[in-house]
Structure 1
Amino acid sequence: MTDRHLTVADLAEPPPDEPRPDERTPPNDHRAEQAVLGSMLFDPRGAVEITGVIDGHHFYYPRHETIYEALRKRVHSLKPIERYLLANDLRDAGTLARCGGTVYLEELYQLGIAVPTDAALHFADEVRRTAARRRLVEAGTRIMALGYTPSDTPPAELHHTALDTLERDLILQPVPGVDEEVGDRFLDFTTLYTTPPQPIPWLIAPILAEGRITLLYAPGKAGKSLVAMEAACALATGGLALTQRTPHHPVHVLYVDQEQTPEDWRDRTQAMGYTVQDAAELTEHLHVSNLQAWAPLDTVAGGAQLLAEVRRTGARVVIIDTVSKVVAGEENSNDTHQALYRHTLAPLKREGLAVLLLDHTGKDLEKGARGGSAKTDNIDIAYQLTPRSHDKLTLAPTHVRFRDDATSRTITLVRSTIPRLTHVEDTWSDSTSPAAEFRPTRFMEKISRLVEATPGLSKSEVLDLVTGRAEYKRKALATLIAEGYIEDVRGQHNKATLGELKPYREASDPMASDRPDGDQDGTP
């Protein structure tokens, strides 16, 4: 085979027995249809782009439409495109013989070798344009039949019928990746003004809500993926995570992960306490696309591919980790993020999904997420995640599009590993923390003796000087303050320090036995 690219003249003529039995063959381009299918078989990556340009109904020849739909199904299911696998799909559907068998698939593949992706996209446009001409002929044929048929219908009604035919066949034709009708979603101001305001449909307040897009950005290795994975697992199993206080029903989560390996998922979810007994529920509700070759989400094809997976899995939450790895355009270009919103995020938002985007900060942390300003222009909530210590991090809201008291505060999360890896909101009296399950009397006495011997220490200084599990120390200090053993004292420059009101001793505490077996440091 020569090095030159395939031209239309090089392609096979259509078989004489395949055209549809019309008196005059409608417009069609057998050569272009072959070029499109051959290119999809030879170049799976280009196949993703082609599915964003044409649909099966654009093909004139029935076997080409059948082959294309089988290919498109593989593309949208993230399955490999191989000739023998496609043949198996067609054989299982009972359509392989009528599509020309494996011989014709091999012929298409050989043709596709000489069709680069840019040429295939040109052929795809030609297939779509030919289909438009064909619809024009079909509409004209129906209008001609309307004119030739004797009728008592008034002329004005005939004209309306003809116009309706044109509108249905020419104007309202579906475009790949575009909704066919939008009129039923125009804003109804009567309903808007008469319906009482509804609460924000939080899934994890105030981080993730239905119909909202959240951006979580942080420096590398700060733990944003770990936080997102914990949230995803909890949502999929109906558990608690981060700031949640009440259980909920499991929801389907689609996690587009371009960072973690399968081994990372195993190790991290096991650290979170999930076992083989949870595997079935996780598999059913948590759909992790792990390092798969998605079409860029700032393209029509990528947006259509993701939306198809959302609908196939029934996902109500989409997590993208990370944004910079799923776009083809320049990361610092506003055009890239406008295209990402237009092709992917807006359709997901329109479907009422909760979307969580993970991204990196730039070199200057004060300037927020890396990239153009359009990155935050198109989202509803942006949180900057900042590690404060080995076991504490904060989520600070830097951009909020809607009013809600919950989004106005900085959230402090405490990372705990006892009895499992969790991130729990630090409220100094958190009832969901593992430390809240018992009375940490040993730590209470340690802290009381320290403050008694060294008055004027701050809370952070006390927690640093006392050794042991961080969550137990915080619980102990909060309990001592709440029960009047220690008080907050405002000193010079309004500095908060701790003062002893009365000593605490574990031996005198009637509830001292209400603690787990073994040492409170977590050692059996």
Structure 2
Amino acid sequence: MTDPDLPPHSIDAEQATLGAMLISEYAALQICEILTAGDFYRPAHQLIFTAVNRVRTDLGGPDPVATAEILRADGDLERCGGAPYLHTLVATVAAPMSGPYHAHRVRGYAATRRLITAGHHIAQRGYEAAMGDDPIATVAGLTDTAIRDLEAVRDFELDDNTPTPTIEEFLAVHDEEYDWIVPHLLERGDRLILTGGEGTGKSTLFRQLALTIAAGCHPFGASPITPRRVLIIDCENSERHLRRRLRDLTDQAARIGYPIPASGLWIECRPEGMDLARDRDVSWLMQRIARIRPDVVTIGPLYRLVPRAINSDDEAAPILAALNLIRARGACVLLEAHAGHATTGQGGSRDLRPRGSSALMGWPEFGYGLRKTEPRLGADGAHHRRVELEPWRGDRDEREWPQVLEAGGRWPWMEPQSLAVNPYTARGAR
């Protein structure tokens, strides 16, 4: 604010806030938790804020060109300075991650303006009452009105029209049906972290989950399920390495009658890793989510999603916030992570919880780790590798994840009781 004769405001802060929203979905999500349109001092900025959010709802992320088109269609583009002004807003942004900081400044100025206005109204009513016949008789009413004015400053644009439901009203809504991605295994929006030591087969299991869900086959059996759109984001392996692994699984799926639909499985290889604490990488990720609209996203391993150790909740917060953006788009998020090195119990078994901040343990609905166990001698005379799927946190819902997995069946990992099923009679090879 530079002019003392004007109400408190900062055009620079408003421009920086809107510029961050125009280029970063991550920043926009945080800013919308801080501000409403009415917090902006300049009316044009209120219109731009509303248009940006309409674009985010329609396209899944910000887009300056689409924002200009919406403003033009509403007849507001010229009032907002035209398309060049949107480019000016973007140019003011030194770092999109600073957008929430500027949003707090905008909110602070807005609250101050409302407080000043409320104070003027309170003072005006006081003077008017003092000039009446009996000012003492109006004290209670003036006080109540003043309190309501101040509460209105606090609650500005707070949506308080929806009443808190009673137990009867709450249970009158029947929406308990599961929105299954894999019946009794994964529901839309679930978050899962799978851990394990080196060589336990967790990456193989991750690829198996992705491919079978895309193909329309239960991950641990041969029963058909509805094929889903799956996005694999591999931040460890090269394209060549991943292609070898997926080709074998894809060929096997076709052999047993589950060819993958052309648009069922999408692949992104980022062997250089990512940094989900950086706005640029979060924007890259959300652009793919908006374009592909996956039902399931497998991503990891965790240590490749940020180029530093995640030892505190503050360090974990931006990574988990970015992953929650995926979930907010209606997808299951399956995260691969390495287990900790510590040992537990008298036997000294490895701690299967993910390395790092305790926030990682509280984030998912389901947390499982693969633990090697003694191989089993099969009917073919070979020793079959076995792992236990061990929970390292309490499940938030009842699901039918297997307790033991064994190699040697139609898929790399199967439940032992499923190994006796002939893979070619389960659905019929094509």
TM-score (norm 2): 0.60
1:370 aligns with one of 350, 355, 380: 355
* Mapping 1:107-186, distance limit 5 Å: 107-108=88-89, 111-112=92-93, 115=94, 122-136=101-115, 170-171=154-155, 173=157, 184=164
- 1:293/1:163 Cα in 2 relative to 1: closer, same or farther (>3 Å)? farther
- SS class of match (2:310): coil
Aligned length: 383
Question: What does residue 324 of structure 1 align with?
Answer: 303
* C-alpha separation in 2, matches of 1:32 and 1:288: 39
Question: What does residue 356 of structure 1 align with?
Answer: 334
- 1:190/1:407 Cα in 2 relative to 1: closer, same or farther (>3 Å)? farther
- SS class of match (1:133): helix
- SS class of match (1:427): helix
Task: Judge conservation of contact 1:257–1:290 (CA < 8 Å) in 2.
Answer: yes
Residue 104 of structure 1: how far off its partner (Å): 3.3
Whether 2:406 is the aligned partner of 1:412: answer yes
Task: Judge conservation of contact 2:194–2:367 (CA < 8 Å) in 1.
Answer: yes
Deviation by residue 1:124-172 (Cα, 9 ceiling, x = unmatched): 3211212333444677789999999xxxxx9999988886776566336
Task: Judge conservation of contact 2:122–2:146 (CA < 8 Å) in 1.
Answer: yes
Residue 29 of structure 1: how far off its partner (Å): 1.9
Unaligned 5+ runs, structure 1: 1-7, 14-23, 149-153, 193-197, 439-515, 517-524
Question: What does residue 378 of structure 2 align with?
Answer: none
Deviation by residue 1:374-393 (Cα, 9 ceiling, x = unmatched): 53355444322357899845
Indicate the structure (1 or 2) with the bigger Cα radius of gyration: 1
- 1:408/1:435 Cα in 2 relative to 1: closer, same or farther (>3 Å)? closer
* Mapping 1:457-472, distance limit 5 Å: none
Whether 2:420 is the aligned partner of 1:401: answer no
Deviation by residue 1:42-67 (Cα, 9 ceiling, x = unmatched): xx57x844652354613332433455
Alpha carbon RMSD of aligned pairs, Å? 5.9
Residue 204 of structure 1: how far off its partner (Å): 4.6
Residue 33 of structure 1: how far off its partner (Å): 1.9
- 1:254/1:408 Cα in 2 relative to 1: closer, same or farther (>3 Å)? closer
Question: What does residue 501 of structure 1 align with?
Answer: none
Whether 2:234 is the aligned partner of 1:241: answer no
Residue 358 of structure 1: how far off its partner (Å): 1.1
* C-alpha separation in 2, matches of 1:233 and 1:366: 29
Deviation by residue 1:87-142 (Cα, 9 ceiling, x = unmatched): 56514652544332354345445554xx5667665433211212333444677789
Question: What does residue 208 of structure 2 align with?
Answer: 230
Question: What does residue 104 of structure 1 align with?
Answer: 85
- 1:375/1:118 Cα in 2 relative to 1: closer, same or farther (>3 Å)? closer
* C-alpha separation in 2, matches of 1:382 and 1:360: 12
- 1:261/1:128 Cα in 2 relative to 1: closer, same or farther (>3 Å)? farther
Unaligned 5+ runs, structure 2: 129-137, 343-348, 376-382
- SS class of match (2:225): coil
Deviation by residue 1:13-69 (Cα, 9 ceiling, x = unmatched): 9xxxxxxxxxx965432232234455677xx57x84465235461333243345556
Task: Judge conservation of contact 2:196–2:371 (CA < 8 Å) in 1.
Answer: yes
* C-alpha separation in 2, matches of 1:158 and 1:314: 55
Task: Judge conservation of contact 2:368–2:393 (CA < 8 Å) in 1.
Answer: no
Task: Judge conservation of contact 1:414–1:425 (CA < 8 Å) in 2.
Answer: no
* C-alpha separation in 1, matches of 2:350 and 2:293: 38
Task: Judge conservation of contact 1:296–1:328 (CA < 8 Å) in 2.
Answer: no
Whether 2:409 is the aligned partner of 1:425: answer no
Residue 216 of structure 1: how far off its partner (Å): 0.8
Question: What does residue 473 of structure 1 align with?
Answer: none
- SS class of match (1:52): helix
Query: Which residue identity does 2:226 align to in structure 1?
Result: H
Task: Judge conservation of contact 1:87–1:96 (CA < 8 Å) in 2.
Answer: no
Q: Which has the higher contact order (CA 8 A, sep 6+)?
A: 2
Deviation by residue 1:394-446 (Cα, 9 ceiling, x = unmatched): 24214241486955832324464xxxx664333265426348789xxxxxxxx
